[in-house]
Amino acid sequence: MTATIRLTMAQALTRYLSRQMTEIDGQRLPILGGVWGIFGHGNVAGIGEALWQERERLPTFRAHNEQAMAHAAIAYAKTNMRRRFMAATTSIGPGATNLVTAAALAHVNRLPVLLLPGDVFANRIPDPVLQQVESFGDGTVSANDCFKPVSRYFDRITRPEQIIPALQRAMQVLTDPAECGPVTLALCQDVQAEACDYPESFFEERLWCPRRARPDRGELAAAAAALKAAKKPLIIAGGGVLYSGACEDLARFATATGIPVCETQGGKSALPDDAPLNMAAIGVTGTSAANRLAAEADLILAVGTRLQDFTTGSWALFGASEKAIIGLNVQPFDAGKHRALPLVADAREGLTELYAALGNWQAPESWAADAKAGKATWRQEAQAVTAATNAALPSDAQVIGAVQRSLGSEVILLHAAGGLPGELHKLWQAGPPGSYHAEYGFSCMGYEIAGGLGAKMARPEREVVVMVGDGSYLMMNSEIATSVMLGLKLTIVLLDNRGYGCINRLQNATGSASFNNLLKDARHETLPEIDFVAHAGSLGAIALKAASIAELEAALAQAKANTRTTVVVIDTDPLVSTGAGGAWWDVAVPEVSERAEVRAARAQYDIKRQHQRVGE
């Protein structure tokens, strides 16, 4: 007879989660780093009590915003290269729907997070309960149905025994390199408290290690043949290189074959910036060195990248002419994009076997030499725009230069939205793998500070530096207080350009007048004078204002020595961005407008669109 233990559904859930393990560098660790929780009537009595019982094996962390705590959980998983992750629990209603943006972020970026929102009563007797969303035509709908399109796996637990298959499926998705993404288990609040006789075997420790798929022989042969026929091949390294732990394999492959490498936002730091064949950033936010090669290359080996429009210049960077693409990716959906030759495999296994299949083949030496010369030229261009000046309002690039000089390349540099991703992608000189942390798949304003907290939880021994604009800061800053509460020090560099400067520049570039982006161009009676130093200080941080690049460097030196989260504020110019590097991005311009500037922008837009790869 099977031995059982009587537990509530919520107790079974937390006990199960606390016993799931992974192995990293020979060390056996809990695969969950903990659970973020904001309690309400929909989860405090059920999962709240269950988390208390498991608090030593499965720590619970309190946050100040549901979306922010999920962002922290996602950043924790990204910093751990998807080998460990966290969960987040909320009540029903707004607590649950606050998680939806974070779920979308994790879905786009293929990052694991377990979301445990409370749900309505399965028995429906108290309906409608507080915060319940009612559908006039479907009695099964709740607010949590919002999670369905942004979850890799969704389940609603309406009976206590359903948690057994649901958790098994959840762990399979969270640990699968190809299917990885957010999992939502909506927990009916009455079912959380219902008891069931669970088999004791369900709670035995289980080890989860990433699957490493090896390439199909036919696909491998086709990829090797295509590479051998290439005269100007180029590698695009995406986030999959980092998640696979394939950075050393990529370096060996590039060195042996003489193929230049460029990096997506997710793939940056796969190679150190000073690696001889690293051309750094590619695409809309790319370097001149990388983008010139992308335009000239006759073959692209795309490793672990989903080839987002910023990487491909909206598919105009590679040119309209035929150009071979090899898609080395663990996910077939990504491997075959734009008629690519698919090479479905783990990045490390794929590179290793492709290297063996190529034998002694190398790209022409002239191609590598040309690439290195282009990188040297780019380095000079980048140094010029990041150098310190006495400008009254420095550019983002000059602030980046100051941070780089003051804190070096060993820190974990984290950012997400606005103008900073464009400047940092091409100008930041990344160090070891994982030292560059960008959330640019969803480009979610408000991720930065919460993400910094999650990165620090994953790597408490590392200095975590968050660069954020005033727009993102105002959207979500509450986890400064959480970082202070948990004793997790961040260095936050806040660039204040008094509005959404990045979108204002895009607005102007498409022929429109400045409107509703900068504070001064939005409807107002009085322009706000926001004291970010006072605000950050009120949340418990050490806060400083720098009036120049020199003062910024001095403040960063102080921040480095501080033991508590430090916010350094500097005013910047909203109109200036780096002209060097970059590529076209498809942002549709109106066909009809009373503005001559818009009509002129549309004419240029129509010309650029002719270079896009279409119909593939």
Model pLDDT for residues 249-258, shown as the tens digit of each residue: 999 999 999 9
Residues 447, 469: Cα–Cα separation, whole Å: 11
Domain assignment present for 412: yes
Q: Strand, helix or coil at 186?
A: strand
Beta strands in 458-602, from DSSP E residues, in sequence order:
464-469, 491-496, 542-546, 566-571
Residue 1 has what pLDDT? 76
35 and 72 co-located in one domain: yes
Q: Which domain holds residue 310?
A: 217-377
CB 246 within 8 A of CB 355: no
Q: Kindly report, residue by residue over 493-541, the tens digit of the pLDDT.
A: 999 999 999 999 999 999 999 999 999 999 999 999 999 999 999 999 9
Please provide residue 338's backbone torsions phi and psi, each rounded to the nearest 5 degrees.
55, 50
Tokens of 504: 């204002």
Per-residue pLDDT tens over the stretch 601-611? 999 999 999 98
Residue 335 lies in a domain: yes
Whether 212 is in a domain gets the answer: no
Residue 318 pLDDT exceeds 90: no
Residues 364 and 466 placed together within one structural domain of the fold:
no
Q: Choose one of 359, 377, 395: the last residue of a domain.
A: 377
Maximum Cα interatomic distance, the chain, rounded to a whole number of Å: 82
Residue at a domain's end among 532, 556, 571: 571
Give the whole-number percent of the chain exceeding pLDDT 90.
Answer: 96
**Domain for residue 603, yes or no?**
no
Residue 586 belongs to a domain: no
- Nearest-angstrom CA–CA distance, 128 and 131: 8
Report DSSP letters for 220-271, one per residue. Answer: HHHHHHHHHH-SSEEEEE-HHHHHHT-HHHHHHHHHHHT--EEE-TTTTTSS
Name the nearest CA neighbour of 116 among 57, 50, 203: 50
Dihedral (C-alpha) 272, 325, 292, 258: value to the nearest 10 degrees? 50
Tokens of 463: 């200095």
Q: In terms of domains, do 406 and 312 share one?
A: no
- Rounded to 5°, the CA angle 215-218-219 comes to 55
Tell me the per-residue pLDDT of 557-583, one tens digit each, with 9 for 90 and over. Answer: 999 999 999 999 999 999 999 988 999
SS (H, E, C) 122-173: CCCCCCCCCCCCCCCCCCCCCHHHHHHHHCCEEEEECCHHHHHHHHHHHHHH
Q: Which residues of 568-587 are buried (b: 16+ CB within 10 A; e: fewer)?
A: bbbbbbbebbbebbbbbbbe
**Average pLDDT of the residues in 358-365:** 96
Domain identity same for 232 and 329: yes
Rounded distance between C-alpha atoms, residue 346 and residue 335, angstroms: 11
- Identify any residues that bridge with 300 across adjacent strands, giving them in sequence order: 234, 325
Q: CA 117, CA 97: separation in Å to the nearest integer?
A: 9
Tens digits of per-residue pLDDT, 197-231?
999 999 999 999 999 999 999 999 999 999 999 99
Sequence-distant (≥ 6) Cβ neighbours of residue 137 within 8 angstroms:
none
Number of domains in the chain: 3
Domain of 328: which CATH number? 3.40.50.1220
Contact by Cβ (8 Å): 521, 507: no
How many whole angstroms separate alpha carbon 453 and alpha carbon 222?
Answer: 44
Report which DSSP code applies to 214: P
pLDDT per position as a tens digit, 77-108: 999 999 999 999 999 999 999 999 999 999 99
For residue 609, being part of any structural domain is answered with no
Q: Examine the domain organization and report whether 125 and 155 are in the same domain.
A: yes
If asked whether residues 81 and 164 sit together in one domain, one would say: yes
Same structural domain, 281 and 175: no
Q: Does residue 359 lie within any of the structural domains?
A: yes
Are the C-beta atoms of residues 88 and 69 closer than 8 Å to each other?
A: yes
Q: At what angle do helices 66-79 and 100-109 cross, to 10 degrees?
A: 20
Burial class (CB in 10 A: 0-12, 13-18, 19+), 284: buried
pLDDT at 61: 98
| Cis status of the peptide bond prior to 128, with omega within 30 of 0 | yes
For residues 87 and 115, the answer to whether their CB atoms sit within 8 Å is: yes
Q: Could you tell me which residues are beta bridge partners of residue 415?
A: 438
Burial profile 442-470: b = 16 or more Cβ within 10 angstroms, e = fewer: bbbbbbbbbbbbbbbbbbeebbbbbbbbb
Do the domain assignments include residue 419?
Answer: yes
Query: Does residue 313 contact residue 281 with C-beta atoms inside 8 Å?
Result: no
pLDDT exceeds 80 at position 399? yes
In this prediction, residue 611 carries a pLDDT of 87
> What single letter denotes the amino acid at residue 83?
R
- Do 237 and 203 sit in the same domain of this protein? no
Residues 424 and 358 in one domain: no
Q: Give me the helices (H) in 258-331, please.
A: 288-296, 309-312
Instruction: Indicate if 444 and 515 belong to the same structural domain.
Output: yes
Length of the chain equals: 616
Residues whose CB is less than 8 angstroms from the CB of residue 57 and which lie 6 or more positions away in sequence, other chains included: 18, 19, 30
- pLDDT tens, position by position, 149-204: 999 999 999 999 999 999 999 999 999 999 999 999 999 999 999 999 999 999 99
Indicate if 280 and 429 belong to the same structural domain. Answer: no
User: In the listed set 160, 180, 207, which residue is the last one of a domain according to the structure?
Assistant: 207
| Token reading at 180 | 């990885």
Do 478 and 538 contact (CB within 8 A), yes or no? no
Domain CATH number, residue 200: 3.40.50.970
Residue 49 and residue 36: Cα distance in Å, rounded? 14
Residue 322 has which token pair? 């035929």
pLDDT at 144: 98
**Tell me, what's the pLDDT at 390?**
86
> Average pLDDT of 232-247?
98
Type of residue found at 189 = Q
> Distance between CA 80 and CA 452 in Å, rounded?
13
What's the mean per-residue pLDDT of the chain? 96
Q: Which of the 8 DSSP states describes residue 33?
A: E
Tens-place pLDDT, residues 280-305: 999 999 999 999 999 999 999 999 99
Look at residue 320 in the predicted model and tell me its pLDDT: 55
Residue 615 confidence (pLDDT): 58
Let me know whether 306 and 373 are in one domain: yes
- Model confidence at 321, in pLDDT bands (50, 70, 90)? low
Q: What is the DSSP letter of 338?
A: G
